[in-house]
Amino acid sequence: MLREELANNRPKEAVATMAALMLSDADSVIAGLRRGGALRASRYGYRAATVRKVVKAALVLSPYVGISSTAHRYLESVLALTTISPYARQLRRSISARIHSRRLRLLKTLLVVVNLRFSLGRAADRESSPESLDYWTIEEIAEGYSLLTSFVREEGGISPYMWRLTDEHIASPYQNVYQSLLVDAMKLKQFADAEIMIDGLPYVAIVQGNKVSIAAEDAAVEKSIRLGYIQTDVQSILRTMELRREGEEQGLRIRTIEEFVRQAFDAGLGNFVGIREEPIERLVFAIPPDPATRDYLLHSGRFLEEMAMINSAGIDGFYAGDNVEQLAVTERLTVLDIAKVQRLFMIIDLVFRMKFETFPDGERRHGLIARSAIPVMKREQLLTTLKFVLPDDRAEEVLDFLTLSDKENFIDLQYRPFVESDGWYAIAPAVVGKSNLIRNIVTANRLRTAENTRDDPMQRAVSEALQEAGFEVRTNITMNIDGRRETDIFCRRDDQIFVFECKNSYHPCSPHELRTTYEHLIKAQRQLDIRRAWLQRPGNQEELHRALGWRQGPVDKIHTGIITANRAFTGYRMGAHPVRQAHEFINLLRTGVARRNDGASIRFWRAPVFQIDDLVDYLEGESIVRAQMEALQPVTWSFQIGGSELAFESYMMDMRDSVRILTEMFPSQVEVRD
């Protein structure tokens, strides 16, 4: 009822409903509104007047009905964030007017811009102006495009005719309307992300003048999230460097796809890109018809990006076999299948980009880019293209998984990069080639969740590492622990018991996905709270030992922890329970060696061999965890939405400072690799 009253802008009824709800069970009511996002202004066209009245009424009632400090902070945060809503509403209206005036050319022209950003792959520069695309990450730019696509769909729908035309003046410094549209859409997306953060994560919004800051209630939350993203990026770079180094040691130089295509282009591949004059001048790339040439392009060897992607897929999937390429992504598709699709579209993008460079006349070149960079084709044509690299049934499945149809509610270009309308498909080849399609296919189609713990490869890998380190390990134990419950891992060594809950999900790439990860952690915290309390009561340890077949007696030291597949929240504590990433956890048990950001190795065990205290230190936040956290420095990034400023309080890592801290903490263990 309240949602309906807010949506229909009925303040009197909404306030009355809120008051009645507060009188029943205020904390539960507020928690429910928070879970459902009922107080997000973005859900009501950024109209916040009624939301503000409802929240103010709740705050007035709060001393009389009694609400928790958490609920009070949440209501204050909603009130703070809604001070931006009038400006966000104005911005939305401005976007709508610009969409209306350029409707037929808008989506394809913007997709050209997005594709170019992915093709060049430049990192975001937070020191530049937020009004420039250089300020934003390519992922944020794709999100902005996705939001604009949803606006176009809301305001009359998408027709195939929209994929025929582009604005040829897109590169003109006087035609920055497309850049401003993307920037403004990204601002609204960040505003919506801020709403999700205060709704579903332990974050607050604070007003200071015309500035609203989004910050974690506990700095350790934001630190652990940023550390997870930094570790993910650093690991990707180090793995790629390691692959290249291993190749060089074997006398091989592993080429990138761009190096390969550049060589092929100079050898004649560029001749397969021709000019079509009708109905308008544009470039068309015909994949070579000769089977030998086609196979050379699409099936020969493995390039550095592909090897890194396949290697990462095996690591992220905790794959223990030798043939990672055949690791299943869906029922039919394998990692290798996805790599083939991405190579195909990377080649298409690179060949076009190199051909554009051959036109010295800037105006003509920019026109050709606008008209040619985004292939538009019928379903049959796209299937034929995919069948160059995949069998028929797999080509059909890839097309289904990657298609953003008119019926699809969830719009995200990186998850579904084949944008379809009435049987026509517009494709940004660089977006297809450079997105994490393995992760995105699995996530968008809910093919893997953190709750699938039976025969979970991550849990199995953790258990095996514990056994190798001398622990007695039992997994997936169901017994009466204040009710019939299943526990992922019980283990014991040196008169100490450890209880672990495992959560296996991909690394979150948005506040919405981050919220899902956090909800899994909350569930794990509750599970471990019950088990810890049960184990501390007299007689229960003996019952556990009998159930597990352990012959030793009760212990005084009981440790708990949450082991996650992704790196978000690594280093954080959910109540009494530390959150640790599985690969890092396994590495602690097996080697005690970590690579610094400069590539050198350090050992952080207390002694040359693993001891139980190494694990205790790690779980208690000492050793390598403390070193990583200390290397994080506060940073704020912000932008204007009309007369307000929206700021995000975060952290960054100075890589040189990180090396210094690790060297000081482990001075005698540094091993510099030649």
Res 279: pLDDT = 82
Residues 44, 9 contacting (CB under 8 angstroms): yes
Q: What amino acid is encoded at 418 in this protein? A: F
Does the pLDDT at position 45 exceed 80? Answer: yes
Q: What angle do CA 278, 284, 285 make, to 5 degrees?
A: 160
pLDDT band at 177 (very low <50, low <70, confident <90, very high): confident
Name the most confidently modeled range: 63-67, 111-115, 600-604: 111-115
How far are the Cα atoms of 44, 96, 153, 338, 640 from residue 408, in angstroms, in the given order? 21, 21, 11, 22, 32
Q: Does domain 457-638 have CATH number 3.90.78.10?
A: no
Who's near 228: CB < 8 A, 6+ residues apart? 507, 566, 567, 568, 569, 570, 581
Query: Taking the mean position of all CA atoms in its chain, how far away is CA 665?
Result: 32
Residue 651 tokens read as: 């952290």
Block residue for tokens 């599970």: 527
Who's near 470: CB < 8 A, 6+ residues apart? 493, 610
Name the most confidently modeled range: 82-86, 225-229, 478-482: 82-86
Cα dihedral 549, 552, 557, 562, rounded to 10, equals: -20
DSSP code for 123: P
Res 54: pLDDT = 96
Residue 194 tokens read as: 């801020």
Residues 94, 50 contacting (CB under 8 angstroms): no
Phi and psi torsions of 249, nearest 5°: -65, -25
Q: What is the pLDDT of residues 328-354, one digit of tens each?
A: 898 899 999 999 999 999 999 999 999
Residue 182 tokens read as: 């993307």
> Average of pLDDT values for 51-67?
94
What b/e sequence results for 257-268 when a residue is b if at least 16 CB atoms lie within 10 Å of its CB, and e otherwise? bbebbbebbeee
Q: What is the pLDDT of residues 434-478, one digit of tens each?
A: 999 998 888 877 665 444 445 789 999 999 999 999 999 999 999
- Give the closest residue to 380 by CA, choosing from 348, 424, 420: 424
> Average of pLDDT values for 401-414?
89
Res 626: pLDDT = 83
Res 594: pLDDT = 80
For the entire predicted model, the pTM comes to: 0.92
Residues 635, 650 contacting (CB under 8 angstroms): yes
**Helix runs in 155-270, H state only:** 177-200, 219-249, 257-266
Res 209: pLDDT = 94
Does the pLDDT at position 362 exceed 70? Answer: yes
Give the residue extent of every domain in the chain.
2-82, 100-178+255-298+330-446, 457-638
Res 251: pLDDT = 84
